[in-house]
Structure 1
Amino acid sequence: MANPPSQPPRHSKILRYIAIVLLVLIVLVGLAVLITWLIIKPKRFVYTIEEGSIKNYNLTKNHLNSTFEFALRSYNPNSKISIYYDSIEASVEYDDQTIAFEVVDPFFQPHRNVTRLDLKLTSQYVPLSGSNSKDIALERSSGEIEIAVMLKARIRYKVGMWKSKDRILIIWCSPVRVRFSRPNNFERTYCDTEL
């Protein structure tokens, strides 16, 4: 008498169906993301420092007083993406030490737009480390100082009616060379970004 063919256990069929359903869902989500990306075609935002100057410079007993003024150009090349800058903190760094700071007003940047931010960062009796004080004094005598400008922004993207969750955007502009005597000869500085 022949044995009847063995049937695969019922739970293995269920696991196979679950695996197929999960695979189909993963493929569908991947296709949705790809189609959305192809429709939106996101491009990187471009940030540059266009102008820079130092005013009211005074270095006394390792303490700095000055005003750093910059024109930051923000370019949004996207045709479907806008951005909300909900909060922005700007700072001037010299050799990893913050020497000036400003809070910038929030703003909205629509798609295919250029926005100019006039930054005015002040140092009010900022204590410098001994080496930074000497280095800044040397750079002052040479007529030019090399610094970094950093912006930390809380942003949200807008595509159509959809708005993203808050994200932190870091804009890092370095090296920024600012002349003490001839601010008209300023060289544009391109900035890097990090999300």
Structure 2
Amino acid sequence: MANGNRAQATQRPRRHFNLKSRVATCFLALIVLFGISLLIIWLVIGPKKFVYTLENGSVQNFNLTDNHLNATFDFVLRAYNPNGKVSVYYDYMESTMTYEDQTVAFNTIDPFFQPHRNVSRVETKLVALNLTLSPSTFKDLRIEKSSGEIEFDVYFKSRIRFKVGLWKSNHLTQRIVCSSVTAYLSWYKHFEKIPCEVKDYMAELF
């Protein structure tokens, strides 16, 4: 009897170990299959980076008085979707302008849908209304104003969803950075196009 009990005690751990090993193997196989499926889908879709360019900009009613700024900035963001099978929903989008790390203007943009292989132009009007500036920012802006051109940074933050066929992704956050944007106060100087950089999810997806 003693020998029989020992044999049963020895078999139970082995069976338990074998069960855990089989579960782990199945789980690993599912992960591998899922990864291969994603890779195949990725290769079939062939996603390409979205391209953004700030292609137009102007300034109206620029006025500096007693450490306060009043101005209206109009920009046009060119959004190019080169993908043949991927469309995108821009469910929320905001634009921000900064000067020396101080936000000087902000606005939101109406939601829109961009189909595949499409160029969309997004217009935004950024208004600085009696904005209080720090003494150093006011001083530097006044100096740049006298030169007739001012350099800003313009940012776009979006909540987007991708669409491929009937499938739609969850919401993703996208940040577009347009650095060193020169706004001319003289009418005879034309705006120079600025290529913008895409932050966040793009680095992982593409």
Q: TM-score, normalised by structure 1?
A: 0.93
Once the two structures are superposed, the pairs formed by residues 1-195 of structure 1 within 5 Å of their partners are 9-182=14-187, 184-195=189-200
Q: Secondary structure at the match of 1:13?
A: helix
Q: Which 4+ stretches in 1 moved above 6 angstroms?
A: none
Percent of pairs with identical residues = 51
Greater fraction helix: 2
Q: Displacement of 1:183 after TM fit?
A: 6.2
Q: Displacement of 1:99 after TM fit?
A: 0.5
Q: Structure 2: any 5+ residue segments left out of the alignment?
A: 1-6, 201-206
* Partners of 1:39 and 1:53 in 2: CA distance: 42
Q: Which amino acid aligns with 1:62?
A: N
Write the deviation string for residues 39-83 of structure 1: whole angstroms up to 9, x where unpaired.
111111111101111111011101100011111100001111111
The count of corresponding residues between Structure 1 and Structure 2 is: 191
Q: Displacement of 1:37 after TM fit?
A: 0.6
Distance 1:42 1:183, change over 3 A: farther
Q: Is the 8 A contact 1:71 1:118 kept in 2?
A: yes
Q: Displacement of 1:17 after TM fit?
A: 1.1
Q: Is the 8 A contact 1:171 1:194 kept in 2?
A: yes
Q: Secondary structure at the match of 1:171?
A: strand
Write the deviation string for residues 131-160 of structure 1: whole angstroms up to 9, x where unpaired.
110111011111111101111111111111
Q: TM-score, normalised by structure 2?
A: 0.88
* Partners of 1:20 and 1:101 in 2: CA distance: 54
Q: Structure 1: any 5+ residue segments left out of the alignment?
A: none
